[in-house]
DNA sequence: CTTCGTTATGCAAATTTGACATAACGAAAA
DNA sequence: TTTTCGTTATGTCAAATTTGCATAACGAAG
């Protein structure tokens, strides 16, 4: 009956019905933290700068919190870094994810074989 | 910092990267089972017949299994009912969902307060 | 004062989604 | 036999969403 039946899951945070943190945004923020640049982070996670920028501003708008500190111009063109609030939010989200996917997978294999 | 921060989650099944069963499709199939009609089921769950029909055929194509038995014309115009495979799949999916959302909620409140 | 890579946006294209229109069907009633 | 009725079954098109393109502004360093 089935070819490659598999379970998929998503866990994300919302404010006023708008997504403010999911797997994609998490990857983006972590990449920004590593590279100190939105554009380089976007390239790494495979999205356009435009989209990354949209993500960030949407998150900041609905969380009503500054997450990414940016510098424009200057040596290297500028750059970006995470605020303490962003790092804190990421840590909490990581905790939330920890074990959830494993629990789902476990249940899936237990039921569907 | 936050207004109404809440956790959201989805769990669904895929075949070859295509969704074959999620919450929406589950609701639709259950409504078909109750009403014996795709169109009445679609009205109940708030989607168009066209969309419901698309769901069903996509599910059947990727699962390579007949899920809905239909009769066209005749008294009442026709009707539809679930196959044994569909009922079986629904039962398994229900089992899969059972507890998962509770586990996620529990973890959320434990971490975010 | 030129260069460079970045932030910052408007806008258009493309894709996806969803709704509309219409045909076919067949049992029962007229 | 013919009409009626609510359903299944699809093609087609519009609308909404998403994605990407183009361009301006910036400012430190050479």
Residues B100 and B110: their CA atoms lie apart, in Å, by 15
Specify the pTM: 0.88
> Residue A99 has what pLDDT?
76
pLDDT per 10-residue tile (average), chain B, 113 residues: 79 92 97 97 96 96 95 93 98 89 85 86
CA distance, residue B104 to nearest chain A CA (Å):
7
Contact A60, A78 (CB under 8 A): no
Asked if B23 reaches chain A (Cβ–Cβ under 8 Å), the answer is no
**Strand pairing partners for B18?**
B15
Q: Where does the pLDDT of residue A33 fall: very low under 50, low under 70, confident under 90, or very high at 90 and above?
A: very high
Please classify residue B86 by burial: count the beta carbons closer than 10 Å to its beta carbon, then call 0-12 exposed, 13-18 middle and 19+ buried: buried
Q: Where does the pLDDT of residue A104 fall: very low under 50, low under 70, confident under 90, or very high at 90 and above?
A: confident
Collapsing DSSP to helix, strand or coil, B28 comes out as helix
Q: Please give the domain boundaries of chain B with CATH numbers for all domains.
A: 19-107 (1.10.10.10)
Please classify residue B29 by burial: count the beta carbons closer than 10 Å to its beta carbon, then call 0-12 exposed, 13-18 middle and 19+ buried: buried
> Residue B3 has what pLDDT?
62
Q: Where does the pLDDT of residue A3 fall: very low under 50, low under 70, confident under 90, or very high at 90 and above?
A: low
Q: Where does the pLDDT of residue A102 fall: very low under 50, low under 70, confident under 90, or very high at 90 and above?
A: confident
pLDDT in tens, A55-88: 999 999 999 999 999 999 998 999 999 999 999 9
Over residues A15-37, mean pLDDT: 96
CA of A59 to C1' of C1 (A): 39
Q: Which residue of B has its CA nearest to A110?
A: B96
> Residue A100 has what pLDDT?
85
């Amino acid at each position: 009956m089935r070819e490659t039946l598999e379970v998929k899951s998503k866990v994300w945070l919302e404010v006023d019905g708008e997504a403010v943190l999911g797997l994609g945004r998490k990857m983006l923020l972590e990449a920004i933290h590593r590279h100190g640049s939105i554009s380089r982070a976007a390239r790494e996670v495979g999205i356009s700068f435009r989209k990354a920028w949209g993500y960030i501003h949407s998150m900041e708008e609905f969380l009503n919190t500054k997450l990414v500190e940016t510098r424009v111009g200057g040596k290297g063109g500028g750059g970006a870094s995470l605020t303490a609030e962003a790092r804190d939010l990421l840590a909490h989200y990581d905790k939330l994810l920890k074990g959830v996917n494993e629990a789902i997978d476990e249940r899936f294999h237990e039921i569907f074989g």
